[in-house]
Amino acid sequence: MSGSPLFGLVVVWPGWIATGENGMRTETIRSFLAVYETGSFTAAAKRLYTEQPVITKHVSCLERRLGCQLFTRSTRRVTPTPAGEAFYETASEAMVLLDRASAAARLLSAKQDAVLRLGYHYFYMDSLTTGWIKEFEESCGMEISVAYSEAVLHTLIRQVADGQIDGCFVGTTDETIIPPYLGRQRIVDMSEVVLVGKTHRLAGYSSVTLHDLLDETFAYPAQPPTADNSVVLKDFEDAGREAHMWNTSFESSALRLVERGDAIIDLPAESPVPSNDVVIIPYESKRQIHYQFVWNMANKSEVFERFREFVIGKTVRPC
């Protein structure tokens, strides 16, 4: 990465990351980057786990601040203007710089010698990984404690990038979601399965495809997955279709809807299924979930280095 564009950005626009009304908030910049990278305000909102009007407001505020249009909007696609292209090149580098600065400060100031801070998304904290962590604690040879942080995919990546957690276990449908300046170790590639109630019309199927699911309703507890970490939802997105979803507060509530036949749910094939009253059906797709461990390469604490080496030793092959 060249140093001059970043240096020039800081000098010419000294207030660009300010938090006041006249400055550019970091969340505004992240919204712009998400729209640029996904080509859609709706997809950007899903990536950042917010609502589409929030993304639209952020981009509009940014355009007013800069005094130029960053995107050309159409009914089918959002295309960056020449100004948007120019802004993205340096803004994306600047966000990397901010994340690295945050990480450097946190990693130096935190007392990490006996604490391992791990993040996960409930969708992908499978029994295999949980067993690894327990095995590491028992075999580490030093007294440690493990602090867990549950969050959605892009929040976890950002927490690793700015040093809030040591590493995270995530599943992605597209590995480019993970910034290249973070370390990563692929654990396994996996397919997905669909869970339905025993009286559901799909219960007798030996496998299902996207076509079979287009009119179904999906039930997810808490924060639902997105196309970035669900093969089924990625296939919906590629087909230009929107999946019907119900969000529940608890996993048991979502599972009950599935058991009754009112909804279905897709899960990674390696996930444990906490019910005997559902049918598990393989989902056919050209895509797979890439399940991997992601970490900040600036983290040199002894306990984390041991854990990273432990995970790599458990993994068949590196990324």
Cβ 80 vs Cβ 134: under 8 Å: no
Q: What is the pLDDT of residue 210?
A: 97
Where do we find the tokens 């980057």?
33
**Does position 19 have pLDDT exceeding 50, yes or no?**
no
Give 48-78 pLDDT, tens digit per residue. 878 889 999 999 999 998 999 999 987 777 8
**Does position 263 have pLDDT exceeding 80, yes or no?**
yes
pTM of the model: 0.69
Among candidate residues 115, 118, 146, 121, the one with its CA nearest the CA of residue 49: 121
Which amino acid is residue 48, in one-letter code? L
Non-local (6+) Cβ contacts of 107 within 8 A are: 163, 296, 298, 299, 300, 301
Q: Cα(316)–Cα(319) distance, rounded to whole angstroms?
A: 10
Residue with the larger pLDDT of the pair 316 and 28 = 28
Burial group, residue 201, by CB count within 10 angstroms (0-12, 13-18, 19+): exposed
**Does position 268 have pLDDT exceeding 50, yes or no?**
yes
